[in-house]
Structure 1
Amino acid sequence: MSDHDDIPLAYVPSKPRDVPSAEQLRERVPGWGADLDPADRPSHPKLQFAPGASGARWDFPERQPGAEGRERSIEHAFVTPVFGTAQPLHGVSGAIRRFAYDRYSEGRLAHWLLLVAGDRVDATGAHLRSFVSGRPDDLLTETGVTAEAKKEARAASRDSTRVDRHHRWLDPLIVAGPWVVTGVVAVRVVAKAVRALR
């Protein structure tokens, strides 16, 4: 038994424990071993187990403090030894993201859809805060729609190799659509509130 039996293999320099033989794998997994010949694998030199070749001067990296409360995928035993702290989770978007990490594996679509939803909630909050700040987001210039009207951009848009040529007509709908829908909903809510007060 190794000193590192309780630590995931990604963080230790030793070989995996209890590796099945090629024969056992071939019996258990149909088609296993199709790429056993190193000549078939361009990455073969990188697959050699060479202790010390990594240059690492540690068996397990020193853990960064502050891992308590950080988001961690449920398939991992603990937060990685080093992690980012630049964007801590906050507010409703943070609660949505934390739920995604606590409840669903990274292999589940729900995990990623919740992270996207958390991002959209965060973006909507930033837009609303921009109105309160007195300097609201400028939808036309910040999205690049006005740049497309310039002469050089018009000439470039006729280029047949331009990747976005076929879906450019969708861009104004994608950029302005959510704002138009939000505006319509806001007007209806205000109108309903006014009618209720009368």
Structure 2
Amino acid sequence: MPYTAQKPPLPETPDQLRARIPGWGADLDPADRPSTPRERDDLPPTGAHWVLPERQEETVPRERSVEHTMLPPVFGTAQPLHGPAGAIRRYAYERFSEGRAAHWLLLIAADRVDATTAHLRSFATLRPDNPVTETGISAELHAHPVASRRGRVDVRHQPLDVLLVAGPWVLGGVAVAAVLRRALRR
């Protein structure tokens, strides 16, 4: 059981594991472990006085992995899920195991959606995002842009950088221009 003071029972005994997996338990002998001189078992007790730590109250529903039956005793509440990105994250946790690629791809997609909505929200403020200064394009002009790329391993991927950094801004500009053109025609 997770989050308890007891060590969970092994599903198989060490002898069963050694018979089934070649080389299992090779580091059980302290003489074979490189960290043995640093390992200490004479430390004083930790003073933990609990079997299961006191649980933090869950005031709003939290995302949790399908592998776990309960949340850890203490968890963060600083950034609650919100908006479309929160819905994507909730779906990833409710539907897919952490061992599935779909779980992690959905979480990455939620991060992209969150970044995009933050960029869009910035246009409603007095100081919207500036893609030229915030992406480092202006620094490229002064920091030897061609010489700094020579000899790098990712040379084939460099054209994608332009697409990934400037692409969303160009698409956003095209969309705004299309909306303005349509509004002016009316």
TM range (shorter): 0.7 to 0.9
Q: What residue in structure 1 maps to residue 117 of structure 2?
A: 125
Scaled by the length of structure 2, the TM-score of the pair is 0.77
Same amino acid, percent of matched pairs? 57
Alignment of 1:23-172 (within 5 A): 23-43=15-35, 53-66=45-58, 68-150=60-142, 153-154=143-144, 158=148, 170-172=160-162
Match of 2:168 in 1: 178
Work out the number of aligned pairs and report it.
185
CA–CA distance in 1 between the matches of 2:22 and 2:59?
A: 41
More helix by share: 1
Deviation at 1:13, TM superposition (A): 2.4
Q: Is the 8 A contact 1:74 1:104 kept in 2?
A: yes
The amino acid that maps onto 1:154 is: H
Whether contact under 8 Å (2:131, 2:169) holds in the other structure is: no
What is the deviation of 1:44? 5.2
Distance 1:48 1:148 in 2: 52
Flag as ranges the 4+ runs of structure 1 deviating above 6 A.
45-52, 159-166
Q: Which runs of 5+ in 1 are unaligned?
A: 1-7
Paired AA for residue 113 in structure 1: L
Measured on the aligned residues, the alpha-carbon RMSD in Å equals 3.6
TM, length-normalised to structure 1: 0.73
Which has the bigger relative contact order, CA under 8 A and spacing at least 6? 2
1:74 to 1:142, Cα distance in 2 relative to 1, 3 A: same
Which stretches in structure 2 are left out of the alignment for 5+ residues?
none
Which residue of 2, 5, 8 corresponds with 1:13?
Answer: 5
- On the 8 A contact 1:64/1:82 being kept in 2, the answer is yes
